[in-house]
Amino acid sequence: MAELKEKNIIAERTKEYGQQLWGILQKQIEKQSDEPHDSVTRVSPPKKEGKHKIFLKLLW
């Protein structure tokens, strides 16, 4: 029983940590979207269209 309780505490802490990281990430995305040139325009376009689509999926 104590082991289960310990796992629940670890899970809660992990969840809180993940939410904090997500909040930081969202702030970074908002900062980038406010800039005139976002990260997508700074990257040289790939030679193949397929690679470009994969790269955009990774960004979002």
pLDDT (tens digit per residue) in 19-28: 999 999 888 8
Question: What own/partner pairs with CB < 8 Å and gap ≥ 24 does 8-15 have?
Answer: none
> pTM value?
0.42
pLDDT tens string 29-56: 887 766 655 455 555 555 555 555 655 5
Contact 40, 59 (CB under 8 A): yes
Nearest to 21 by CA among 10, 13, 9: 13
Measured between alpha carbons, how far is residue 18 from residues 10, 24, 47, 58 in Å?
A: 12, 10, 36, 19
Residue 43 host element (H or E): none
